[in-house]
Structure 1
Amino acid sequence: MSANYWTSSHLKDYIYTKSELNVIRLELFKQEYTKYGNNWLTIPLQIKDENNGVTQNKQISIYAKELHYDRDYNLRIYLYLQLMKLGKKFQLKQVIISTAMVYLQRFLLKCSIKECNVYYLITTCLYLASKVEECPIHIKSLNLIAKSFWPEFIHSDFTKITEFEFYLIEELSSYMIVYHPYDPLKKILENYTIFAKDTIEDGQNIDDYLLNYEFLQDSWAIINDSYVTDSHLLYHPHIIAISSLLLALVLKFTKMQKNCKTKKMNEYIAFSLINIEQIEGCMKELMVLYQFWTGSNKQDQKFNEKLQKNKYNEEWIRFLLYQLYYHKSVTAV
C-alpha cells in the first residue's frame, strides 16, 4: 500500500489521457461488435395509435449509445444512484461508496456491460470497498438487502458475491487503493484561507474572501457527483477538488460575492501553479453531466439557476437492463 498518491498504483495504472481512454473503450466496442453484431438487442415497445396500443419489436443498434457506459449518461447515473441506495441502507461513509464507484468504472473499462450482471457488480464493488476501507459489511446481510432491491437479478446464494469478488479483483489486477478528492479539498481550503489573509489589502473585509462551511458542503456534494463522470480516470484528486470549488463558486454566491471570491481564488490558483487546462477539462466533465442530468441548456435556463436532478430517464434504463438479462436468460435456455 502506498501512502503517497504520486507513487501509488492509482496514478501509475489508473490515470489516463482522453485518447488512451478512447482507445481502451474502442477495443471493448470492437469485441462487443464481433460477438453481438449490429442489432444486438430486440425490445418490445408499446406504440399507441388512434384505436389501441400495438406492441412492436425495436432493434437496438450496437452503435447506439444505450448501455455503453462511456456514452450513456442514463446508465452512468442509474448505476451511481443504485450504488448510493445500497450504501445508504448500511449507513456507510461516503468514501466507501466513492471507492466502490471507482472500482465499477475501472471494471467497465475491461468488461462489457453486456457480459456481466450490473446488480452483482454494484453489490460486489460495495462489498470489496467496505473491506478495503476497513468497514466491512456482513456478506449475508448485503446479499439479503441487494436481493430485496433487485429480486429478479440477485440470487439467494450469497456465495455468488464471493465468486464475483475474485473476478473483480482479478480484473483490477489487485490494485485496490483509491485516492479521493475529499482530503485535498480540505487542504486547499486551508491553504486558500491562509493565502487570502496574507494577501488582503488594507481596508478590505476578509469575510468577503473567505469560504464558509456551507460552501465546503456544496463542494463536497459536487465531488460526490463527479463519480458519475470520467474525472477519476482522467484527473488527479486535487484537480477534481479545485474544480468542484470553482463550480460551487459559480452556483452558490451572488454576483458581487462571486466577483470577490472568484478573483481571490484565481489568484490562489495562479500562485499555486495548478494546471489550468486540467481544471477546465474537469469542470467541463461536470457541466456536461449536470446539463444532461437537469435537462438544462442555454436556451431554456441558465446553468447556474438550479440543479434539480430529476431529468434522466430511470425507467428507460431499468427497462433496457431487464430486457438485456431476460434476453440472455432465454438465449441460454
Structure 2
Amino acid sequence: MADFQTSTHRAKWIFTPNELVEKYKVSNQRAIKMLKEYGSTRIEVSADGSLSYPEPQLDATKVEKRSHTKPLSIEDEQLMRVFYEQKIQEVCLAFGFPQKIQGTAIIYFKRFYLQWSVMEHHPKNIMLTCIYASCKIEENHVSAEELGKGIQQDHQVILNNEMLVLQSLGFDLIVYAPYRSIEGFVDDIEDFCQANDQLEMLKVSIAFVFNDRLWLPLK
C-alpha cells in the first residue's frame, strides 16, 4: 500500500469543517432546485451505469402536489448519512467481514455524499455498493448476488451503481482507516502496562472511555 503522505487520501480527501459544510450545502441546494423545477430529486441509474435525470412535469395535478413536497435540510441529510453508516457496520458484522472492509466502505460512503445529496441517490443502494466495492479493493471479494441475497436486496442495484460510485470517488480507492493505528497504539499501551503491572487499570480506563465518551450521539 502506498505511503499516506503521498496518497490521494491525503492530497484530495482531507477537508476542514467549513469545507465539508460547503460541499453538503452545494449538493443540498442542487437537489432542492431540482425538486422545485421537476417535482423529483431522484436520479435513476440504468444497467449500463448511465444516469437519468427528472424531466419537467406539465400535469397540473403533479405540479400542485410537488409544491407541497418538503425537501430535506442539510441537518436531515446528515442524520440519514449517520443512520446508513451504522447500517454498513451492521451488514459487515452480519457477513463477518474484517474490520478493514467496514472502514473502507464507510469512507467510500462518506466521500460519495460529498458529491451528491441523499435526495438524489438512495443511501441504501449506495451503502450496498460501497460495501461491494470495499470487498473488492480489500481483496475479500463477495459477489453482488451473494451480498444482495444475504440481506434480501436486488443485487442488480449494486451492479448498476458500481460505476457511479467509482466515478464519484474519482477512482481513488486506496483509503486509510484509523483502526490499524489505534490497534497499534493500544498494543503499545498494553505492553507498557504489563511491564509495569498496570494492565487492569488500563482495561478499566478503556471501558470508561467507550462507555462514557465515544458512544455519545453524533451532533
- Structure 2 equivalent of residue 145 of structure 1: 150
What amino acid does structure 2 have at the position aligned with 1:136?
H
Residue 84 of structure 1 corresponds to 89
Q: Output the CA distance in 2 between the equivalents of 1:93 and 1:197.
A: 28
Q: How does 1:246-265 map to 2 (within 5 A)?
A: 247-248=209-210, 251=212
Per-residue deviation, 1:188: 2.1
Identify the structure with bigger relative contact order (alpha carbons < 8 Å, sequence gap 6+). Answer: 2
2:183 aligned residue (169, 183, 186) = 186
Shift of residue 114, structure 1, vs aligned partner = 1.0
Aligned-pair distance for 1:173?
0.6
- The alpha-carbon deviation at position 194 of structure 1 amounts to 6.7
Equivalent position SS for 1:113 = coil
Quick one: distance in 1 between partners of 2:147 and 2:71? 35
**Residue 193 of structure 1, CA deviation:** 5.5
Gaps of 5+ in 1: 42-57, 149-153, 199-204, 219-245, 252-282, 294-333
d(CA) in 2 for partners of 1:83 and 1:174? 21
- Mapped partners of 2:23, 2:188: distance in 1: 37
- Segments of 4+ in structure 1 off by > 6 A? 194-198
Which residue does 1:255 correspond to in 2?
Answer: none
Equivalent residue, structure 2, for 1:168:
165
Is the CA contact 1:37–1:62 (under 8 Å) kept in the aligned structure 2?
no
Taking only the aligned residue pairs, the percentage that are identical comes to 20
Partner SS, residue 119 of structure 2: helix
Would the aligned equivalents of 1:193 and 1:210 in 2 still touch at CA under 8 Å?
no
Aligned match of 2:198 in 207, 215, 231? Answer: 207
Taking structure 1 as reference, are residues 61 and 29 closer, same or farther at Cα in structure 2, changes over 3 Å only? closer
Structure 1 residues 8 and 215: alpha-carbon distance in aligned structure 2, compared to 1, 3 A threshold: farther
Larger-gyration structure (1/2) = 1
TM-score where L is the length of structure 2 = 0.71
CA RMSD of aligned residues (A): 3.3
1:130 is matched with 135
Give the drift of 1:106: 0.5
Q: CA deviation at 1:33?
A: 2.5
Contact persistence 2:102–2:131 (CA under 8 A): yes
For each residue in 1:141-165, what CA deviation from the matched residue of structure 2 results, as whole angstroms up to 9, or x when unmatched? 112223x2xxxxx44xx34422311
Aligned length: 191
Q: Which residue of 2 aligns with 1:5?
A: 4
